[in-house]
Amino acid sequence: MLIGIDVGGTTTDAVLIRNGKVCSTAKVSTEPGNLMNSLLEALDAISRDVDPEQLERVVFSTTVITNLIAEGKTDRVALVLIPGPGINPASYTYPDSFFLKGAMDYRGREIHPLDEAEIRKTVGLIRESGFSRAAIINKFGQRNPFHELRIEEIFREIYPECKLELGHKVSGKLNFPRRIATAMLTSATRGHYIEFVEKIKKSLEERNIRAPVYILKADGGTLPVEKSIEFPVETIFSGPAASTIGALALTPEGQTSVVVDIGGTTTDLALILSGKPLMASKGAKLGGFLTHVRAFAVRSIAVGGDSVVRVKDSDTGTKQITIGPYRAGPAYCMGGKETTPTDALKFLGLIEVGNPESAGEAIKAMASALGKSETETASLIVDKVAQRIADAVNEMFFEWEQEPAYRVWEVLQEKEARPENVVGIGGGAKGLIAEIAKKLDAKPVIPEYAEVGNAIGAAVARPTLTLNLHIDTEQKVYSVAEEGEIVSLNTTNFGNFNKIRLDEAEAMAAELLRERAENFGISEYADEAEVVNSEVFNVVNGWYTTGRLFDVNMQIPAGLIPEWKRRENV
């Protein structure tokens, strides 16, 4: 049996899945100050009549890190930065930054040495200023971490208690400012996150649950909870990821869908293209900082079932309807004070919940202000909300089509997808899905269990993993961005480095990914790995080729565990 729990902003949803089928569901309201309580409450509700021995897998998606950052409850971190030439580091807006001399270039060659005396002075200053955490980030540190490692040594020597984060261990991708932010947030949240994980482990022990426990990440993949301590920030935005995987699980394989989760004041959107959730081309934005955290391409728009509807005079003197962005409590037909899209839906008979008489009153008031019939008015409100959402969907498709291309084949590749389905996930404003689908010329889909689609997504998500291999045959080294070590090519089986072929580099990446998957305890998914991009460049000096640079990017993409897929085949 599988358990999936999504701790959301207002409710915490849970499902129990047996033999690939939803067995039971639960919904409790989230206590903003105590996510752990809500999580355990949902867990207890769902597992009440279940023998803990029968549980095979428990997956949580939680906003704990998002909340910590939003509430400013993170730890202070001293940022030790080695920016080298480029943008003036004075333009960075990171707090508590200490800049050091030294520089690496794009090939990982040292272009300016460190100044040991300056480092010692800085470490002393960090200690005196009362920082107990520091993050050390070097521009191009992922191409050569020597400077970061040397500074770490000096810390160990004169301030050993300081907890350290090294940029090249946090992300191997290009983008120094994002690496700074990611390292900073990782360091700032790790302490609290460890406490959270300890509490979870203890609570599960108390309940005799010994099944493996996973955390859902923003890229829709699961990570064993012990392993997640290394990457706390990857657990952000797992809510939308859970909904998207849920939609994937509840719609036919291989289709293109828009996932719409209509809440009280906001609507979350995600895209599934030919059965693959669309990833954001760059990392997520968190606490105002751009990071390297992989996430689905999700969009939140400020319109929902409880958005306040008003009639206003336009510039041309005609009356106009405005929707949102505010909420003034629940819909009128649910006992609230203001007219909302929910009232319009109720008036038109598109939803079941709510009091029909009060919906009528709410629409009547609008209609007389607008000078239109009640049905016209209600339709206008629904149409306007649906249009806003459909416009946002079109924008998402357009942005995907317009993602930059750096190769001839990428420009020639025609990105033209239109949604086949509009999938409603979550409990809100179901009546709108059909209207949105009409505008997008797609099929409206409200799957069974849509209201706990997020928890289903958590329960059936499979692990994801990335591996970025970089080989420089001129310098006779290779590195795996995610591991942060520069390794001599002499340790590999390659004979003549200058004769390495791209397919051999890809095979090496696949083998390294297999090892990494084993290390993560997810080796059974290694076969799902795919090459995202691989390329080779000659290094030419004068008119001679003196080496080659390989880049192979592999991933185990987001998807469903076979236990769920099995059900589809039945």
Q: In the bound complex, what is the minimum distance in angstroms from residue 369's beta carbon to other proteins? A: 28
Asked whether position 542 contacts other proteins by CB under 8 A, the answer is yes
Q: Which of residues 93-122 bind other proteins (CB under 8 A)?
A: 103, 105-107, 111-112
How many residues at the interface with other proteins, by CB under 8 A?
A: 57
Asked whether position 394 contacts other proteins by CB under 8 A, the answer is yes
Closer residue to other proteins, CB minimum distance, 161 or 503: 503
Q: Contact region for other proteins (CB under 8 A) — 82-90, 148-156, 215-223, 354-362?
A: 82-90
Number of helices and strands in the chain (H, E): 15, 27
Asked whether position 128 contacts other proteins by CB under 8 A, the answer is no
Nearest to 182 by CA among 248, 236, 109, 107: 236
Per DSSP bridges, beta strands 21-29 and 110-112 are unpaired
- The secondary structure of 76-136 as a DSSP string is P-EEEEE--SSS-GGG---SSEEE---EE-TTS-EEE---HHHHHHHHHHHHHTT--EEEE
Closer residue to other proteins, CB minimum distance, 51 or 416: 416
Q: Contact region for other proteins (CB under 8 A) — 14-22, 43-51, 393-401, 475-483?
A: 393-401
Asked whether position 297 contacts other proteins by CB under 8 A, the answer is no
Residues 111, 52: Cα–Cα separation, whole Å: 58
> Are 530 and 555 within 8 A, CB to CB?
yes
Q: Contact region for other proteins (CB under 8 A) — 265-273, 351-359, 390-398, 521-529?
A: 390-398
Q: Contact region for other proteins (CB under 8 A) — 120-128, 146-154, 353-361, 543-551?
A: 543-551
Asked whether position 290 contacts other proteins by CB under 8 A, the answer is yes
Asked whether position 439 contacts other proteins by CB under 8 A, the answer is yes
User: What distance, in Å, lies between the first and last C-alpha atoms of the chain?
Assistant: 18
Q: Contact region for other proteins (CB under 8 A) — 36-44, 55-63, 78-86, 150-158?
A: 78-86
Asked whether position 409 contacts other proteins by CB under 8 A, the answer is yes
Return the residue of 490, 543, 569, 570 that touches other proteins, per CB under 8 A: 543
Asked whether position 36 contacts other proteins by CB under 8 A, the answer is no
Q: In the bound complex, what is the minimum distance in angstroms from residue 200's beta carbon to other proteins? A: 35
Closer residue to other proteins, CB minimum distance, 58 or 279: 279
Asked whether position 549 contacts other proteins by CB under 8 A, the answer is yes
Three-class DSSP category at 549? strand
Asked whether position 273 contacts other proteins by CB under 8 A, the answer is no
Residues 268, 246: Cα–Cα separation, whole Å: 14
Asked whether position 390 contacts other proteins by CB under 8 A, the answer is yes
Name the residue with tokens 């100044």.
115
Asked whether position 498 contacts other proteins by CB under 8 A, the answer is no
Closer residue to other proteins, CB minimum distance, 43 or 233: 233
User: CA dist 520 to 36, 399, 559, Å?
Assistant: 25, 34, 17
Asked whether position 288 contacts other proteins by CB under 8 A, the answer is no
Name the residue with tokens 């790790």.
190
Q: Which of residues 129-158 bind other proteins (CB under 8 A)?
A: 139-140
Measure the CA dihedral 221/222/228/231, to 10°: 0
Residues 388, 119: Cα–Cα separation, whole Å: 54
Q: Contact region for other proteins (CB under 8 A) — 331-339, 377-385, 449-457, 544-552?
A: 544-552
Closer residue to other proteins, CB minimum distance, 91 or 490: 91
Asked whether position 399 contacts other proteins by CB under 8 A, the answer is yes
Closer residue to other proteins, CB minimum distance, 37 or 533: 533
Asked whether position 567 contacts other proteins by CB under 8 A, the answer is no
> Are 150 and 114 within 8 A, CB to CB?
yes
Q: In the bound complex, what is the minimum distance in angstroms from residue 508's beta carbon to other proteins? A: 21
Residues 422, 434: Cα–Cα separation, whole Å: 8
Residues whose CB falls within 8 Å of the CB of residue 325, separated by 6 or more in sequence, listed in order: 265, 302, 303, 307
Q: In the bound complex, what is the minimum distance in angstroms from residue 442's beta carbon to other proteins? A: 10
User: CA dist 315 to 318, 319, 372, Å?
Assistant: 8, 9, 19
Return the residue of 195, 535, 566, 568 that touches other proteins, per CB under 8 A: 535
Q: Contact region for other proteins (CB under 8 A) — 43-51, 343-351, 387-395, 421-429?
A: 387-395
Asked whether position 326 contacts other proteins by CB under 8 A, the answer is no
- The secondary structure of 7-20 as a DSSP string is E-SSEEEEEEEETT
Return the residue of 116, 198, 391, 485 that touches other proteins, per CB under 8 A: 391
Residues whose CB falls within 8 Å of the CB of residue 133, separated by 6 or more in sequence, listed in order: 75, 76, 77, 78, 162, 163, 164, 165, 187, 188, 191
Return the residue of 33, 88, 493, 496 that touches other proteins, per CB under 8 A: 88
Closer residue to other proteins, CB minimum distance, 48 or 418: 418
Where helices occur in 17-83 by DSSP H, the ranges are 35-47, 64-70
Nearest to 77 by CA among 234, 154, 192, 172: 192
> Are 468 and 292 within 8 A, CB to CB?
no
Q: Contact region for other proteins (CB under 8 A) — 88-96, 242-250, 322-330, 553-561?
A: 88-96
Q: Contact region for other proteins (CB under 8 A) — 86-94, 121-129, 212-220, 524-532?
A: 86-94
Q: In the bound complex, what is the minimum distance in angstroms from residue 319's beta carbon to other proteins? A: 24
**Contact letters for other proteins, residues 164-193 (x by CB under 8 A):** ----------xxxxx---------------
Where helices occur in 413-530 by DSSP H, the ranges are 431-440, 453-460, 502-519
Nearest to 252 by CA among 525, 407, 443: 443
Return the residue of 9, 50, 75, 89 that touches other proteins, per CB under 8 A: 89
Q: What ranges make up the beta strands (E) of 287-425?
A: 289-290, 298-301, 307-313, 319-327, 421-424
Per this entry, what is the length of the chain? 570
Return the structure tokens found at 422.
């509009």
Binding residues for other proteins, per CB under 8 A?
83, 85-91, 103, 105-107, 111-112, 139-140, 174-178, 281-282, 290, 390-391, 394-395, 397-399, 401-409, 411-412, 414, 418, 439-441, 535, 537-540, 542-545, 549
